[in-house]
Amino acid sequence: MSLDGQKRLELLRVCWPLFPGLPDTLDLPEGLGLRLVDSSGVVFAVLRNGAGFGPISRSEQKEMVEEALRWGDPCYRWCDDENIAIALPLTWNQTLLGGLLALVPSSLTSNGQGNGASPPREIAQRLMDFLGQCNWLNLALMADHRAAAERERLRAEAIHEAKTRGEGPWQASYSYWEPELFLAMRRRERSEARRILNRILLALYSLGMEDLGRTKGFVLDLVTMMARTMVDCGADPADTLGRGMERLNQLDALEDEETLGRWVADILERLIDAVEKTTCPSEDFRMSLALKYLREHCEQPLSRDEVAAKVGLSPAHFSRLFSAAVGRSFSDELLHIRLEKAIRLLGRSDAPIKEIAGLCGFSDQGYFTRVFRRKLGRTPGAYAALSPHRTKVLQTERMSQ
Amino acid sequence: MNQNLTLLQSAIEAGKRKDAVALTRSLLDEGMAPLDVVEQALVPGMSVIGEKFKRNEVFVPEMLIAARAMKECMVLLEPLLVAAGVKPKHTAVIGTVQGDLHDIGKNLVAMMLKGANFAVHDLGTNVPTEKFVEAAREHGAELVCLSALLTTTMPAMREAVGVIRAAALPKVKILVGGAPITQEFCNEIGADGYSPDAASAVDKAKEVLSA
């Protein structure tokens, strides 16, 4: 069924009388604000003013309602005034009509570090149950979307875990040497590039343990990692790997160590050729490598001087180029990258906050909590306790704005 | 020079295993002495690829397929060398130190030493320190080669050198190598020689043995 905006609004207006009794029926707390929006995010009824909704824009309201439907769960967002907005979709069969927005004042939100249900979650659950009972929310559709989101989450986590488990000496070696390797290739120092690659290949082949399938898997990982960095540095891997990476498909057909050995040598020479031909300015190339190095080693105690040396620049020159390219100082960017990682881990892991702090390069949990709160308006514990996964997506976006 | 010797050398350099084995058979069928096949084709072939590796002109897999080709030829030749009464010039024990499971570099060195007419007793990977001592004593080895790929297993190499030194094996020389190892580390732990790559290992082995 497809309804245009006008008809959706009419439907909502027709049902408007159902809602005024809502707060009392559900025993909702004092200070809670409630409003109805249409599918484009425009407010068409204020059910209860509560503490006031603050500056939530129409597009934000629309986005929250759509996100809630997409993930099959209420959508939460911290407002600048520390209140928490909750969005629930209003549906007619499978069609989105609009949304119910609740604003939970900061006095009701949890500051705790525990994992129990927080007041915003309880309120959201009561509202969702109510809308389902009134047939204003298709709970079966929400459950389907929730299940799909859960499957996607589990799949993503499985991939992440597999990658984490697979992080062995050769991958660590590659990650460590990557800036030097790409700089050598860019400088047309082919011998130096081969020397670095041979260090990595020595570990890779050792871990392959003469198992052709295993070694092919590692080789595929290596070539893919190099191709990804080539893209970051402005090179076109399609020149080397073929459109749709068809050259990588040949790998599967290789039947013995001998043909694999020749294939590896050939593809690596081609990758070196492609990086040599890169035309992006040398400074941009170095900054791409530096940023990638920061992202991949942010859990370690990194210094500006160390990263500058990795990309072959003096510390002072590196600082100037970095600020100009990234728009932030080295230390600000490193903090930003570490907090982004913390947000991802808080949304995915049950690990204690202290452990997450360590995994993100914060040796002091107190400092981690302070900077997290300063940048995101919440302690890491409060952040982790609030909601499952898509809340983190929204917060990440908000942080990057 | 016999054309098949040249072809065999080229097949080793290029890592063409089947061609190398077929050419080895042809040379033996022609009546060539097994030691001549080793010294005039296999060793020069491995030396060329080893030198290229040393100069960073080839990649590890190219070196590996060359070594594999030579190994398969040696399977044919070793029984014939023994039957012909060819005695190894030196005896070596080789292994990767405890805690380290990497064996590529160690295997390459073992192959190069065999080609240079060493009797090589390969103890494998993750070798407990006392095994080096036992094997050196059992085989009367003059050379113990210790390999490590991980920085985390460098202390095990230091320990192995200490234990071998304390084991009253006065004629045994110790050669160390592996990606994280340096000449400075070699000096620090009291080994006799360090080789940065497989190609240099034979020269270094001969050098420490003649010292």
What ipTM was reported for this prediction? Answer: 0.79
For residue A392, pLDDT beyond 60:
no
More confident residue, B146 or A4: B146
End-to-end alpha carbon distance in chain A:
37
Provide the 3-class DSSP secondary structure of residue A78. Answer: strand
Q: Identify whether the C-beta of residue B182 lies closer than 8 Å to the C-beta of residue B194.
A: yes
Mutating which of B55, B57, B64, B125 best tests the A interface, going by the most A Cβ atoms within 10 A?
A: B64
Q: Identify whether the C-beta of residue A219 lies closer than 8 Å to the C-beta of residue A205.
A: no
Please check whether residue A161 lies inside any domain of the structure: no
Same domain, A232 and A295: no
**Distance separating alpha carbons of residues A282 and A54, to the nearest angstrom:** 47
Which tens digits make up the pLDDT trace of A305-361? Answer: 999 998 888 999 999 999 988 888 999 999 999 998 888 888 777 778 888 899 899
Task: Name the domain count of chain A.
Answer: 3
Please check whether residue A351 lies inside any domain of the structure: yes
* B101 contacts A206? CB cut-off 8 A: yes
For B96, nearest residue in chain A (alpha carbons): A206
Mean pLDDT of the residues in chain A? 81
Please check whether residue A131 lies inside any domain of the structure: yes
Please check whether residue A162 lies inside any domain of the structure: no
Same domain, A146 and A244: no
Same domain, A255 and A301: no
Please tell me the predicted confidence (pLDDT) of residue A64: 92
Q: pLDDT exceeding 70 applies to what percent of chain A?
A: 80
Same domain, A243 and A221: yes
Tokens linked to A331 = 């230390």
pTM of the model: 0.61
Which tens digits make up the pLDDT trace of A20-30? Answer: 566 666 777 87
**Distance separating alpha carbons of residues A291 and A297, to the nearest angstrom:** 10
Same domain, A293 and A395: yes
Please tell me the predicted confidence (pLDDT) of residue A4: 59
Tell me whether A189 touches chain B (CB under 8 Å).
no
> How crowded is the C-beta side of A339, counted as CA atoms within 13 Å?
27
Tokens linked to A213 = 């399938």
Helix or strand run (H / E) with residue A75: strand A75-78
Nearest to B59 among A169, A192, A201 (CB): A201
Please tell me the predicted confidence (pLDDT) of residue A77: 83
Question: Which of A14-28, A267-281, B35-49 ranks highest by mean pLDDT?
Answer: B35-49
Same domain, A248 and A357: no
Chain A residues with beta carbon closer than 8 angstroms to that of B16: 258
Same domain, A244 and A297: no
Residue with tokens 């050098």: B207
Q: Identify whether the C-beta of residue B118 lies closer than 8 Å to the C-beta of residue B176.
A: no
Same domain, A135 and A191: no
Query: Where residue A346 sits, what CATH number does that domain have?
Result: 1.10.10.60
Helix or strand run (H / E) with residue A359: helix A353-359
* A265 contacts B179? CB cut-off 8 A: no
Neighbours of A253 (CB within 10 A): 8
Query: Where residue A97 sits, what CATH number does that domain have?
Result: 3.30.450.20
Residue ending a domain, among A229, A260, A279, is A279
Question: Which of A27-36, A239-248, B174-183 ranks highest by mean pLDDT?
Answer: B174-183
Same domain, A275 and A292: no
Please check whether residue A128 lies inside any domain of the structure: yes
Confidence category of residue A391, pLDDT binned at 50, 70, 90: very low
Helix or strand run (H / E) with residue A287: helix A282-296
**Distance separating alpha carbons of residues A368 and A122, to the nearest angstrom:** 28
User: Can you give the residue range of the structural domain that contains A236?
Assistant: 167-279
Tell me whether A115 touches chain B (CB under 8 Å).
no
Residue ending a domain, among A129, A153, A177, is A153
Q: Identify whether the C-beta of residue B87 lies closer than 8 Å to the C-beta of residue B59.
A: no
**Distance separating alpha carbons of residues B100 and A210, to the nearest angstrom:** 16
Nearest to B149 among A197, A202, A265 (CB): A202
**Distance separating alpha carbons of residues A246 and A244, to the nearest angstrom:** 5
Tell me whether B65 touches chain A (CB under 8 Å).
yes
Same domain, A188 and A144: no
Measured N-to-C along each axis, helices B3-14 and B43-54 cross at an angle, to the nearest 10 degrees, of 40
B131-157 average pLDDT score? 92
Same domain, A344 and A377: yes
Tell me whether A370 touches chain B (CB under 8 Å).
no
Question: Which of A56-70, A237-251, A379-393 ranks highest by mean pLDDT?
Answer: A56-70
Chain B residues with beta carbon closer than 8 angstroms to that of A206: 101-105, 149
More confident residue, B161 or A22: B161
Taken in order of first residue, the domains within chain B and their CATH numbers are 3-83 (1.10.1240.10), 90-210 (3.40.50.280)
Same domain, A80 and A186: no
> How crowded is the C-beta side of B95, counted as CA atoms within 13 Å?
25
For residue A116, pLDDT beyond 60:
no
Residue ending a domain, among A263, A279, A295, is A279
Please check whether residue A126 lies inside any domain of the structure: yes
B158-180 average pLDDT score? 91
Please check whether residue A159 lies inside any domain of the structure: no
A43-59 average pLDDT score? 77
Please check whether residue A158 lies inside any domain of the structure: no
Kindly report the nearest CA distance between residue A138 and chain B, in angstroms. Answer: 57
B157-168 average pLDDT score? 92
* A206 contacts B149? CB cut-off 8 A: yes
